[in-house]
């Protein structure tokens, strides 16, 4: 459930807290919580960047997201993705076919 991101996009601390709380109802594993936080924070940043018409690079976006993701394999994997050369990103991570059309 990503309502924390949409309701509190202007308060990242609250986004993190609400994502953790909503995730723990069904997921006890710390990596699940880290994943929920990552998605919620990314959603909140996307909302804020859209509203501000911000046009920074996707790496700047990922850097902003990583500031709030707890130390975890999730954070490590996001960092690996962030550091990939542009020409390898889709090849290594994959993409929705919708993005490819």
Q: Tell me if 56 sits within 8 A of 40, measured CB to CB.
A: no
Residue 21 DSSP SS3? helix
State how far the Cα of 52 lies from the Cα of 6, in Å rounded to an integer. Answer: 15
What tokens does 95 get? 């993409």
CA 97 and chain centroid, separation: 20
pLDDT of 101: 43
Residue whose tokens read 């804020």:
48
Q: Which residues of the chain have pLDDT under 50?
A: 1-2, 99-101
Beta-carbon contacts of 65 under 8 Å, excluding residues fewer than 6 positions away, are 38, 41, 42, 45, 78
pLDDT of 97: 57
pLDDT of 98: 55
pLDDT of 51: 80
pLDDT of 1: 47
pLDDT of 55: 79
């Amino acid at each position: 459930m990503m309502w924390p991101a949409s309701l509190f996009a202007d308060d990242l601390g609250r986004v993190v807290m609400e994502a953790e709380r909503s995730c723990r109802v069904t997921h006890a594993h710390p990596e699940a919580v880290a994943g929920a936080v990552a998605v919620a924070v990314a959603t909140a940043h996307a909302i804020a960047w859209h509203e501000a018409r911000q046009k920074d690079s996707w790496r700047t976006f990922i850097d902003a997201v990583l500031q709030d993701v707890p130390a975890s394999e999730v954070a490590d994997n996001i960092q690996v993705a962030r550091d990939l050369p542009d020409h390898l990103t889709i090849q290594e991570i994959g993409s929705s076919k919708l993005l490819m059309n």
